[in-house]
């Protein structure tokens, strides 16, 4: 009986010592990860190698730590076993405690997840706007319009879907408001852990997980975003682009925002006056249709120094220049726009003149860069192009006013049209802001 008690006591003592060493190893490895940032974040393709490096570091630290406390180890071992301890024994203990450090990390992760869950449960209830069906049905989450209506306590001036709303429901009947759009496309490489955790938590709620809510946008989070995009549509009823990135349309659909806000405010007096003039030109047609001529079209062309009687000229760039010219004249200022009827010429000369030009790649990463009053530029492989003015921005959708176009948006059209079917990614060259 005494031997059994002694053995149990030895096991508890040895286990306590190993646990202490494991915790110490875990803390040292965390310090190393803080000093070497690449080791702290998952590697896109070779994360197995990163984890192996960390495990070897933990084993080395464990071996060193064990060798520094020989007396404690010997006292935890009975029958003189500690007196025979050599470097091989310390290495074995190092392996044990390095594995223990990994176990301890998992324990800490579980405790942290439980704490986070309790805090979220106390702060707010799980949103009821998403209903999911088991994997056997493979059914996408359904968003119920009545359940996701956002009810502000005052009238908002942001346009949503072409109308202004002034909800009047009581505050007690309002569900928790969905988080506002982060203002940029969130994808691999994102550093804002708070935004990433919001996305990860929501992906788990709508049945696109399970994924860790660790604030790191890695391959698992990207795959969950892609799954959501495959299952769901945007607020216009069109399929989401499956790219694993959370832009304004994916954000709005993921968090069940009732409408994607439309930005139609122009900060510059010149751009504001230009858009007002352009809106008044909607409906202008060529005379005869398809001729690149007509009383108003001739004015557009003459504004950029072209005699319309000498040939047939595309006039989309001339229309943009004419609108700015009329606005500048009304404000009694000089027109800063490059005077040209060539889209390619405008795009090449604007940056040389110090004018802000933003590429489509930049705007795809940050749609907030596109604002009303900017000029969009599209180019073909033959360096012919098309251009027009941005009137509104709704997520990544654009409302534009374009000359020399038609209902399907092609160049060499028949008049001035307002179009709402373009998206930022379709503008293959970029945007100019005067």
75 in the Ramachandran plot: left (φ > 0), alpha (ψ -120 to 50) or beta? alpha
Are residues 419 and 400 in contact, defined by beta-carbon separation less than 8 angstroms?
yes
Closest listed residue to residue 270, CA positions, set 318, 326, 220, 311: 326
**What's the confidence (pLDDT) of residue 161?**
40
Read off the DSSP letter of residue 242.
-
Summarize pLDDT for 69-103 with one digit per residue, the tens. 666 666 655 555 555 556 566 666 766 666 654 55
* Four-way CATH pick for 185-260: 1.20.960.40, 1.10.101.10, 3.40.250.10, 1.10.238.10: 1.10.101.10
Instruction: Could you list the beta-strand ranges (E) of 7-152.
Output: 130-131, 142-143
Q: What is the largest CA-CA distance in the chain?
A: 115
- State which of 187-196, 228-237, 338-347 shows the largest mean pLDDT: 338-347
Is the pLDDT at 360 greater than 70? The verdict is: yes
Given pLDDT bands bounded at 50, 70 and 90, which one contains residue 28? confident
How far is Cα 388 from Cα 238, in angstroms, rounded to an integer?
Answer: 24
Is the pLDDT at 310 greater than 90? The verdict is yes
Who wins on pLDDT, 253 or 177? 253
CATH 1.10.101.10 residue ranges of the chain are 185-260
| 379-426: pLDDT as tens digits | 877 678 999 999 999 878 899 999 999 865 555 688 999 998 788 888
Q: Model confidence at 142, in pLDDT bands (50, 70, 90)?
A: very low
Does the pLDDT at position 236 exceed 80?
no
Summarize pLDDT for 29-70 with one digit per residue, the tens. Answer: 778 777 777 776 666 656 667 777 877 777 777 777 767 766
Residues of the chain with CATH 3.90.1720.10: 263-433
**What is the structure's pLDDT at 15?**
66
**CATH classification for the domain delimited by 263-433, as one of 1.20.210.10, 3.40.50.300, 3.90.1720.10, 3.20.20.70:** 3.90.1720.10
Tell me what the mean pLDDT of segment 136-160 comes to. 34
Give, in order, the Cα–Cα distances in Å from 298 to each of 47, 77, 281, 311, 326. 63, 100, 14, 11, 15
- The Cα–Cα gap between 41 and 333 comes to 53
């Amino acid at each position: 009986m005494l031997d059994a008690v002694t053995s149990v006591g030895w096991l508890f003592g040895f286990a306590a010592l190993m646990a202490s060493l494991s915790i110490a190893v875990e803390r040292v490895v965390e310090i190393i990860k803080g000093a070497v940032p690449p080791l702290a974040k998952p590697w896109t393709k070779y994360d197995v190698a990163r984890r192996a490096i960390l495990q070897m570091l933990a084993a080395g630290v464990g071996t060193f730590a064990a060798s520094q406390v020989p007396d404690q180890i010997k006292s935890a071992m009975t029958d003189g076993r500690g007196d025979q301890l050599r470097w091989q024994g310390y290495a074995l203990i190092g392996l044990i405690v390095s594995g223990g450090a990994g176990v301890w990390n998992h324990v800490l992760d579980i405790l942290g997840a439980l704490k986070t869950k309790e805090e979220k449960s106390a702060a707010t209830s799980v949103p009821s706007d998403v209903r999911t069906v088991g994997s056997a049905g493979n059914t996408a989450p359904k968003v119920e319009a009545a359940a996701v209506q956002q009810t502000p306590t005052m009238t908002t001036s942001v346009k949503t879907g072409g109308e202004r709303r002034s909800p009047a429901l009581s505050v007690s009947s309002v569900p928790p408001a969905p988080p506002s759009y982060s203002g940029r496309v969130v994808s691999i490489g994102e550093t804002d852990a708070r935004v990433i955790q919001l996305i990860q938590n929501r992906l788990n709620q709508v049945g696109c997980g399970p994924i860790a809510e660790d604030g790191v946008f890695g391959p698992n989070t990207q795959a969950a975003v892609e799954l959501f995009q495959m299952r769901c549509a945007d607020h216009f009823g069109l399929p989401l682009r499956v790219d694993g990135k959370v832009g304004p349309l994916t954000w709005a659909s993921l968090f069940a925002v009732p409408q994607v806000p439309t930005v139609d405010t122009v900060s510059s007096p010149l751009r504001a006056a230009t858009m007002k003039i352009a809106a008044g030109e909607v409906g202008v047609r060529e005379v005869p249709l398809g001729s690149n001529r007509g009383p108003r079209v001739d004015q557009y062309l003459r504004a950029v120094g072209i005699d319309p009687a000498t040939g047939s000229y595309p006039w989309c760039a001339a229309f943009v220049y004419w609108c700015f010219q009329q606005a500048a004249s009304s404000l009694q200022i000089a027109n800063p726009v490059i005077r040209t009827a060539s889209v390619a010429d405008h795009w090449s000369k604007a940056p040389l003149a110090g004018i802000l030009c933003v590429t489509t790649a930049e705007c795809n990463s940050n749609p907030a860069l596109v604002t009303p009053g900017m000029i969009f530029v599209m180019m073909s492989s033959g360096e012919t192009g098309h251009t027009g003015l941005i009137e509104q921005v709704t997520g990544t959708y654009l409302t534009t006013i374009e000359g020399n176009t038609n209902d399907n948006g092609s160049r060499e059209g028949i008049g001035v049209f307002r179009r709402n079917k373009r998206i930022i990614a379709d503008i293959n060259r970029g945007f100019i802001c005067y």
